[in-house]
Amino acid sequence: MPCRDLCRQHLLGEHNELHVVFRAIAEGRKGWANHPETRRWRGRLPALALRHEEQVREMRARGWTGHASPLPEREGSEVQPELVTPVVEQIRLLRAKDCGCYAKNVNDFNG
């Protein structure tokens, strides 16, 4: 799901979790080592870094300043074809929360 479609709470939450996943993989931290989100990013840290860049661009587009958590470069794939939850289901779950995420029509997404 594009970062522009996430409410403030979910954008910041995903950004924080992305750093946890990155550290779990890059630094061998145990806490999230077997979490499904961590497993799907193994061997794909450059793709995770691209998602991080998208998050940062969206934060700046919303006028947020002070982002100070860049990711170091890593080897691996820049492509992430796997999802833990299909995009259509992600949208349904977010809409059910009535959180302010402004996800477009479910039919706009392939997933």
* Complete DSSP assignment for 77-91: -S-----SS-HHHHH
Nearest alpha-carbon partner for 48 in 76, 89, 69, 27: 76
**pLDDT score of 44 more than 50:** yes
Average pLDDT on 32-37 reads 92
Looking at residue 54, its pLDDT comes to: 95
Does pTM surpass 0.85? no
Query: 42-46, 54-58, 91-95, 106-110: lowest mean pLDDT where?
Result: 106-110
Phi-psi region of 66 (alpha: psi -120 to 50; beta: other; left: phi over 0): left
The letter for the amino acid at 33 is A
Residues in CB range of 6: below 8 A, 6 or more apart: 14, 58, 94, 101
Average pLDDT on 20-25 reads 95
Average per-residue pLDDT for the chain:
87
Quote the CA–CA distance of 34 and 30 in Å, as a whole number. Answer: 8
